[in-house]
Copies of this chain bind each other. A is one copy, B any other.
Amino acid sequence: MNNIVAKLNSRGVKIEDIAVITHDLQKSYNNATYEECEQMVMEILAKRETIYTILTAIALDESAEKGLFDEEVNQLITTDNSLYGLDEILALSIVNLSGSIALTNFGYLDKSKPGIIGKLDREGKQKIKCHTFLDDIICALAASAASRIAHKKGIQ
């Protein structure tokens, strides 16, 4: 658990970056506090499926960054072409644990790219780093936490 938080930190993502997006998604629907959102993000990060997905996503990003795959695959991943699509699919591993509100919020964040999601996207586009898989994982984490908050707190 501390392990997976450290892994996210090593790629430039703090827990607060995720919890802030969850809080923004929820605040017009109920009175969930920022702290409750952060707590929910931590609960999702404690799940085995989440941990495996994050490790796999970062392994793909880092290996493409280092050019370890075949040229064609390195290219596909580092370019982050919107026709590639496997990054969104991998993130479903997290989304498909939290129901349909997670799914629609995931799609919304993937298009609107608030906060850290946009930052990762820009670093990737500028070839500073490869975050092709990680930005979608952050969308999935924030969206899943929002879905669970919605079911826990209700919608007003």
Interface residues of A (CB under 8 A from B): 29, 48-49, 52-53, 55-56, 59-60, 63, 68-70, 72-73, 76-77, 81-86, 88-90, 92-93, 95-101, 103-108, 110-112, 150-151, 154-155
B103 touches A107 (CB 8 A): yes
B residues less than 8 Å from A99 (CB atoms): 49, 85, 93, 96-97
B105 touches A104 (CB 8 A): no
Top 10 nearest A-B pairs (CB, nearest first) are A107-B107, A85-B100, A108-B111, A88-B100, A104-B107, A89-B93, A104-B110, A59-B73, A96-B96, A59-B69
B residues less than 8 Å from A73 (CB atoms): 55-56, 59
* Nearest CB of B to A60, in Å: 8
* Nearest CB of B to A68, in Å: 5
Contact A103-B111, Cβ < 8 Å, known A48-B151, A73-B56, A155-B83: no
* Nearest CB of B to A93, in Å: 4
Return the contact of A86 from the options B53, B81, B103, B112 (Cβ within 8 A): B53
B residues less than 8 Å from A107 (CB atoms): 103-108, 110-111
